[in-house]
Structure 1
Amino acid sequence: MGYDLNRFQGEVDEELTCPICSGVLEEPLQAALCEHAFCRACITEWLSRQPTCPVDRNALTTANLRAVPRILRNLLSRLSITCDNAMYGCTLVLKLDALAGHLEECEHNPKRPLPCEKGCGFVIPKDEFKDHNCVRELRSLIHTQQQKLGELKTEISDQNLTINELKRELQLFKDFMRAMRVSNPAMRAIADQMERDEVVRWSSTLARARVTRWGGMISTPDDALQMMIKRALSESGCPPHILDDLMENCHERRWPRGLSSLETRQNNRRIYDNYICRRIPGKQAVLVLSCDNSHMAEDVMVDPGLVMIFAHEAAGKSPICVYLNK
């Protein structure tokens, strides 16, 4: 709907009014062929009932509407209009193109959002302050949030059921693949490749890490430390078929020749900087997977990879592990 003519100072040219509502054009659009101009809302509603121009009755659809010429927009913008909130006390008269910006800040706007200063901090329309009750509003908010929380819990429960079902089906498929692997060489090759691909995908989800002090490596971690690292690996999505092997390989008894003794580790320390290491989330440890380190010699690499655990750094020293981007 257009602007009420009574709100404007001086006469308004008839070319600036809408033939449908007889008000001054608001968000005007023009018919492409006949060039008649209308308010956007007026012509949209009109065309929803009949696809013709309201003036000359020629065929017209929304696809045939376009923006009015700039000269018409300029003429409209120069008109002087009273504020929408004149009935609430605003006496300002301003150019039409400045009206929208003024309405957002007009202190007489009854719907102007203001923060409640009584304690709840809600932002509410100005004309609702007289009926506003902080306790009631807070109770309503808590009730709404509790409903949403209940819905989320139900959704999470449903998702967990779906996940568990998918895990069960995946485990059945893996069991089937293992059974087929025993009896069929072709299936054995396919299953092996699938497991290798699974390791590569998991590796790509872990952040890269660079070890700055290899001397802090623990060669014989105790059972409690190994269990903590194993739990972190499992939570990060480590494929189950390599988890136990990785944990066995965190102890020097399973390390390759280049790591098997303190002397060889000291001699090979510069070589270790060539390792591609992955972060074990939240732990002072890194993962060195064989799929990432095919460039390393056999005497410093083992399949499926190594878990290297470090002692916590002393205060004032540089970090043992620096975590990089993926």
Structure 2
Amino acid sequence: MGYDLERFVGYVNEGLLCCVCRDVLEDPLQAPCEHAFCSSCIHGWLVHHNTCPEDRLPLDITHLRPLFRYMRNDLARLQVRCVFRPQGCEVICALESVHRHEQQCDYALLNCSNAGCPVQVSRRSLEAHLCVCEYSSRVCSSGCGYTVLNTEEAQHNCVSELRAELDMLRAELDCKVEEVRHEMESRLDSQRRHMVQKESLLRSEVDELKGQLSRVMSDVRILLGAERARRQELERAELEKAELLELLKKEGLRPATPSEAAPPPAEVQRKLSPRSLALDCIKRKNREVTVI
């Protein structure tokens, strides 16, 4: 939509009017047929049509181009009243500077800055309105730290407000404690299950080690028994050796050397007496013990 024609002071050329809304051009664009339109007007028109709204010639959005420079200059020099004239602004300025003025105009309507207040007041009256606005608030003068509305200041009770806040904080704390308790219980249950599994695994390993130890002890006992039997055999052999040596001493003989221990010929053996044969057996026995 363009600028309302009634806002302008003096004559406005027909060529500076939008062919769609018939108001003064705002953000203008031009068709190849040299008809001018407001940017929003022609874009809305081309959504449903593909012709120029003035002469019905084919028109596409890609055919649009900026307005001629001389037309832009004429448009910028037009004198227009401030949009806030109904609020009391009497300023008349060039169209090219009207937006800058309206952003700073003292009669511009502004929303009240207090939350919840629906009132719109002029910029020049905003400060006075804030002083009496029923939605304005301030910090409690009693020192409780609460921000209260002007309309609620008479009913404000610091003790009850603080008690309510304390109850709310206590409820939040209880909720937090309960959450932490549940979380800790969950963690403890998880750790307990893990420890039970680990204990079971350790028990099985201990049982296996006990079995291995039992087998090792059995093998050790067998080896000790074999060692004991071997020692007993050695002791018996030593006793027999000692007895034979004692017997040889009694007979007055000495242990035979290997050369002397050779058996005599068969004819000599036949001539030996039984006593000689007994001594010869004793000598051989002694030699065997010595070798052992």
Task: Please classify the TM superposition score into its range, dividing by the shorter chain length.
Answer: 0.3 to 0.5
- Larger relative CO (CA 8 A, sep 6+): 1 or 2? 1
**TM-score (structure 1 length as normaliser):** 0.36
Larger C-alpha radius of gyration, 1 or 2?
A: 2
**TM-score (structure 2 length as normaliser):** 0.40
